[in-house]
Amino acid sequence: MRVTVVGCSGSFAGPRSAASCYLVQADDGEGRTWNVVLDLGSGAFGPLQAVVDPFDLDAVLLSHLHPDHVADITGLYVYRRYHPSRSGGVHTTQAPLAVWGPAGTCDRTVAMGASDSARELSGTFAFATWSPGTPVVIGPLRIEPFQVNHPVPAYAMRISGPSEAGPTRAVVLTYSGDTDLCAGLRQAAADADVLLCEAAFVEGRDDGIEGLHLTGMRAGTVARDAGVARLLLTHIPPWNDRGIAVREARAVFGGPVAEVEAGQVVAF
Ligand SMILES: [Zn+2]
Ligand SMILES: [Zn+2]
């Protein structure tokens, strides 16, 4: 499994990165690479085109419907629907792209002005709603959603798939989406090889705000309690001091921890 960080800026696009977007790729052992995108936040569709052909996506998986996680689905729609040489050509017969998200994902996409109606969108996207406890299988990837703690319906994803070391070994990537501490995130992260975890808040600065985001220390606590092998911190807003999330996490988590940056590829 390979994760390319397309965008990792927290809450809005920043000067060095788009907002949340991660390309997850896995080979199925029969010569096909599967491509799924986790979130499509503000500014992310630009750099996404540099790392994958948007017609080669197999699914879009949305953690929740805040703009920094979903806004650029509008660009993906225009690209796949109206590409002058491809939307009417070889890809005409391509099935609509699967878009998994919370209830209301289709309506939100319409509300953002991508299209005038759900009916028009349905030729390009096939929307489906997460159901906790019901995994989704996309090629060699198995994605299980877990409800997490955010002001709107939001999901962490536990993604199992083949290791880069060999297709017979399974590895687990857990993506937090946006969340404060909760049982759902701990369950999603249990014994994960990689926990890609938001750390938007800072200890001391944001202590009075509950049910929204993690700090580096809270992310480290989840990693420690869930027994994850490696912690990657993300969704850090440009106004945070660089490095503070990693320092906080290291105070409570003994494993490897780092802050991701746009363009980085993590293979495991
Ligand atoms: Zn966010
Ligand atoms: Zn959010």
**pLDDT confidence bin for 73, thresholds 50/70/90:** very high
Task: State in Å: Cα 80 to ligand 1 middle.
Answer: 25
- 137 pLDDT exceeds 70? yes
Task: State in Å: Cα 89 to ligand 2 middle.
Answer: 37
Task: State in Å: Cα 86 to ligand 2 middle.
Answer: 34
- 214 pLDDT exceeds 80? yes
Mean pLDDT, residues 222-249: 98
Task: State in Å: Cα 165 to ligand 1 middle.
Answer: 32
Average pLDDT, the chain: 96
Task: State in Å: Cα 173 to ligand 1 middle.
Answer: 19
Closest to 12 in 3D by CA, of 185, 195, 239: 239
Q: What domain count does the chain have?
A: 1
Mean pLDDT, residues 173-200: 98
Ligand nearest to the CA of 11: 1
Share of the chain above pLDDT 90, in %: 91
**pLDDT confidence bin for 172, thresholds 50/70/90:** very high
Mean pLDDT, residues 143-167: 96
pLDDT tens per residue across span 37-70: 999 999 999 999 999 999 999 999 999 999 999 9
Q: How far apart are CA 186 and CA 208, in angstroms?
A: 22
**pLDDT attached to residue 93:** 57
**pLDDT attached to residue 115:** 85
Task: State in Å: Cα 95 to ligand 2 middle.
Answer: 30
Task: State in Å: Cα 198 to ligand 1 middle.
Answer: 8
What type of residue is 26? A
Ligand nearest to the CA of 68: 1
Task: State in Å: Cα 30 to ligand 1 middle.
Answer: 36
Pairing between strand 265-267 and 166-175?
A: unpaired
Distance of CA 99 to the CA centre of its chain: 12
- 90 pLDDT exceeds 60? no
Tell me how crowded residue 94 is: count the other CB atoms within 10 A of its CB: 12
CATH number at residue 42: 3.60.15.10
**pLDDT attached to residue 91:** 53
Domain that holds residue 109: 2-267
Closest to 200 in 3D by CA, of 183, 218, 188: 218
Locate the DSSP E strands across 13-165.
18-19, 21-27, 33-38, 59-61, 97-101, 125-129, 136-138, 141-147, 155-163
**pLDDT confidence bin for 96, thresholds 50/70/90:** very high
Contact assessment for residue 148 and residue 185, using Cβ atoms and an 8 Å cutoff: yes
Predicted TM-score (pTM) of this structure:
0.97
**pLDDT attached to residue 85:** 83
* Adjacent-strand bridge partners of 25: 2, 35
Task: State in Å: Cα 125 to ligand 1 middle.
Answer: 23
Better-predicted residue by pLDDT, 108 or 168: 108
Task: State in Å: Cα 90 to ligand 1 middle.
Answer: 36
- 27 pLDDT exceeds 70? yes
What type of residue is 179? T
Task: State in Å: Cα 251 to ligand 1 middle.
Answer: 24
**pLDDT attached to residue 168:** 86
Task: State in Å: Cα 227 to ligand 1 middle.
Answer: 25
Task: State in Å: Cα 179 to ligand 1 middle.
Answer: 9
**pLDDT attached to residue 10:** 98
Task: State in Å: Cα 66 to ligand 1 middle.
Answer: 6
- 263 pLDDT exceeds 80? yes
- 88 pLDDT exceeds 80? no
